Amino acid sequence: MSATDVFMWNHELETMPRGELRGMQFARLKVLLARVLDDVSFYRKTYGVLGITAEDIQHLTDLRKLPFLTKSDLRDHY
């Protein structure tokens, strides 16, 4: 075991190649998006008005389709 291994919580994740990391993060983002669209009325209404579904997000560039959230959005719908 090297000195760097001692300081790592999860060696596999913390040393993952950048491309694999991006893929994993994007896959997790898609799962999160699907969950909030199913479970959170604010997102269901907001994205529904725009006609956005979880299936519309297939690439990082598709994130441009999602509306920005403001601090007041988060406060009002907490």
Could you state, in chain order, the average pLDDT of each consecutive group of 10 residues for the chain (78 residues)?
66 90 94 94 93 93 92 90
Retrieve residue 63's tokens. Answer: 């994130």
pTM for the full model?
0.74
Identify the pLDDT of residue 2.
62
Identify the pLDDT of residue 4.
54
Q: What is the residue-wise DSSP string for the chain?
A: --HHHHT-S-HHHHT--HHHHHHHHHHHHHHHHHHHHHH-HHHHHHHHHHT--GGG--SGGGGGGSPPPPHHHHHHT-
